[in-house]
Amino acid sequence: MKSRNIVVVKLAFFVLLLFLVSLSTHARYNLPDFTELVEENAGAVVNISTSKQTQVKRRLPPGMEMPDIPEEGPFGDLLRKFFGEHGGNGDEHFTSRSLGSGFIISNDGYVITNHHVVKGADEIIIKLSDRREFIAELVGSDPRSDIALLKLDAKNLPTVKIGNSDKVKLGQWVLAIGSPFGFDASVTAGIVSAKGRSLPSENYVPFIQTDVAINPGNSGGPLFDLDGNVIGINSQIYTRSGGFMGLSFAIPMEVAMDVVDQLKTHGFVSRGWLGVYIQEVTRELAESFGMEKPTGALVAKILPGSPAEGTEIEVGDIILSFDGKEISNSASLPPLVGGTRVGEVVKLKVMRNGKTKTLKLKIGQLPDKNQLMAGAAPESEEKAEDTVLGLTLRALTEEELKTMELDNGGLLVLDVQTGSAKSAGIHQGDVIQIINGEYVESVDDFKKQVESLPAGKFVSLLVQRSHGPEFLAMRIPENE
């Protein structure tokens, strides 16, 4: 009996051992070991600190005189600190400092970081993991992509390996090394949450979204895959508290290296430009255009003097593909256009009046300053008014058309009553240019279009606003 119990105990121990080995293997399979990756690459990640001198003019309020400050004693120091060294008047100089991260891409000292890390800096100090410090030279910087290229006067430096961010897959493990809040060589890990993210302030970067903990000071640092390749540059976070909330965004290395090559060669970055103002295709707009699902980028305006002006492309076209690449939403178009070489001829697949066609267009160079639209039209002489679908409308004057740079007429919305037009989002001050693909120059034109449309269906309208043109979808009411 005793020997039998011993056998049972041994068997139970053996089963437990197998279970623990299996559990360990399972854990090891799902949770990668980052230690080797960090050991091989931490030396190429740098801490960046900058300083900037700011001059502030200090003046006492009118009628107030500076008291006599004693030369010595605590009260003298206190008064000088409060009123300044110049008795409350004169210029005071302050030094502002910022921290960030970067990484070395060549052994002769080229370093990549974010534009916002070094913007306006008078001095850029690079600190390596071996405690050496260098004053860096700014080779060039590009605000639109938030990339800056620095150069150190050094040789035989450790470098990172540049990876291919196009091969990144959702859910794969990634790792960041940087200096959050000034803590050098901090390592955080997570997964890729999404690709091709467009942020409101950045039209030319298809960001990689991750849940890697990124905080102030991580900006400019590398994002690694498990093979130790840099696939992105940690650039921004989404936060309501100022700290990490699980939404971090990295600039893909394809974008970054293209910028770096141009900064090295020319000192500036040249981007492709179509010269069209685009917007998202909503479900209602898709129905009004006869589409099965919302997709593509809707052309709301063709800018004067742009590459698109005078070509086959028209307002109301929906761009479905750019040079063979599908446009799933409007945000995916600007990065493709911006990454195209100036002067290259590309093919656009567009939908127009329910049919698809292919256009050819030569890419121009994106200008430094691009005003999408003139301001709102000024008050001018009165013209005939009428009310349609709850909209009080009048045609634009010649002066208004010239001011707003409109060549095909338009109707100014003077008032909006409750109804289908108001539900569609039409506001007082809007200028209606197109309804159902047709330009309208008079209220009668608008009436005729409305009367010819089937009740209960969505129809598209192009309206001009102070911030630019926008397509809206309006349902034709049953009782009109």
Residue 455 β-bridge partners = none
Q: Dihedral of the CA atoms 130, 132, 137, 141 (nearest 10)?
A: 30
Q: Is 306 a catalytic residue?
A: no
Measure the CA–CA gap between 190 and 95, rounded to whole angstroms.
Answer: 36
Q: Is 219 a catalytic residue?
A: yes
Q: What does the DSSP assignment read for 102-139?
A: EEE-STT-EEEEEHHHHTT-SEEEEE-TTS-EEEPEEE
Measure the CA–CA gap between 191 and 171, rounded to whole angstroms.
Answer: 5
Radius of gyration over every alpha carbon of the chain, rounded to an integer in angstroms: 31
Measure the CA–CA gap between 367 and 270, rounded to whole angstroms.
Answer: 9
Q: Is 166 a catalytic residue?
A: no
Q: Is 3 exposed, middle or buried (0-12, 13-18, 19+ CB in 10 A)?
A: exposed
Q: Which two tokens stand for residue 289?
A: 């255009």
Of 414, 466, 420, whose CA–CA distance to 443 is shortest? Answer: 414
- Which of 142, 145, 146, 225 is catalytic? The answer is 146
Q: Which two tokens stand for residue 384?
A: 């005939």
- Which of 116, 211, 323, 386 is catalytic? The answer is 116
Residue 199 β-bridge partners = 202
Q: Is 58 exposed, middle or buried (0-12, 13-18, 19+ CB in 10 A)?
A: middle
- Which of 145, 186, 193, 219 is catalytic? The answer is 219
Which residues belong to the active site?
116, 146, 219
